[in-house]
Structure 1
Amino acid sequence: MAILVFVGAVALATPTGGTAARPSTGVTAQDEALRALWRTASANDLLPATLNREGTETYIRLGVNPDETCTGLPSAFTAALAPATCSRAIEATYVDRTQTISATVGIVVLSGSINDRLHLFQSWAPDSYAMKDAMMPHVYPVAGTLAAQFSDAQRVTWQGQVSSDGTYLVYAVTAFTDGRTGPDAAARAAASGSALAAGSPAVQVAGDLPTAIQIILTAKETSTAAGGSGS
């Protein structure tokens, strides 16, 4: 389970007699197994055909980006990952059943030592970063769907969450499906305007969809850990 990796990472980062403790063999093996899972699992498996937001609202996947390289992420985003790095970026675009909100959801598979990734988990500031225009990931338009004309100019906001074991980061970038232009960089930096209010559907969805994905990925981590323990 993710919490086991996190505990092992804390042990690594805590001085003991002036020398950082090393993670146990079991923790290291589990960490490697989870990172292998995120490197090899299919995008269709990690980003399901439907997502349930808060158990009542369904988001339907319109398409998966075939490009899984990290080169499409903004440089300010990847810089904020340091000293961890991106090894794989998986993303798909979703729309809710009422066709009000579009969202590109991404999973960034992280590389680096356990300490590097623990540092990212501890230092990542989702609310602050959501106000930084240069860090906001791009959207993924899907030809032949409601999101065919989905563009960066329509983006309202975004949110990113790092898993407690530091093996991945999940983000969501949201917009309204009617094609309206999103807030400009100044408005986003000040979190001003109705589109960026706490009660705005775009703001709420940007926070909720990464949580929904984390629940799915945590279940996969638990299954992998159980299989690795031979239970």
Structure 2
Amino acid sequence: MAKQNPPLIETVDLCKSYFNDGMETPVLFDIDLTIREREFISIMGPSGSGKSTLMHILGFLDTPTSGSYLFRGQKTRVLHDDELARIRATRVSFVFQAFNLLPRTTVLDNVILPLLYHPTIPASERTERGMKAIEQVGLTERATYFTNQLSGGQQQRTAIARSLVTEPDIIFADEPTGNLDSASGIQVMEVLQNLHSKQGRTIVLVTHEKTTAEYAERVIHILDGRIATDTRDFKRNHVKNVKHLK
């Protein structure tokens, strides 16, 4: 049996409800999930299934109502606010459907922005790290462009570079192709796939699109707040309509 990579994320009986005017709205029920280092996982489900809520909890943007969540073996419920903030700044990163870039700012300056809040990276290293991340997404020649001069696909690849610059343990991508045409979506997914296959990045992708989910090795379906299926060793041959990043 092949040796498994160590667990990065573990949840047991994780539940989430929202409360408004004394009314409880349950969203997630009894989520048992282990995500190991170097996995590429897609979480699928229809709108309202709870998939984005689960990602927000795993990425420390929200908290569970009950159950346990361990990050690298540490119980997250006992962490203080400053410890959680440090994890958000240095250990996890996000790519969203909306690119969330500063428009009249260069690609490089957008990419290195998270380093301004990183406690251990000196200013002298920021440009070097930023250019390395930009190279990894195929945008070296556009590092000095303003982001509002880029196509949608290039803007999303800039957002991916920004997610890489802190060298996080895990990247969460929430509907990263949702605002893109099909060709740009393929480019973005090939970038994420290469980051996983060539660099061993741990990636959790949230999507409602089957063809996007199938880039991952493991596909989890969320339905009505529960894990309906969890398929490992998911294989798919993708037709590469875009051969070169432009």
> Please, what TM-score do these two structures have when normalized by structure 1?
0.29
> Please, what TM-score do these two structures have when normalized by structure 2?
0.28
Tell me: higher relative CO, structure 1 or 2? Use CA pairs within 8 A at least 6 residues apart: 2
Q: Per residue, is there more helix in 1 or in 2? A: 1
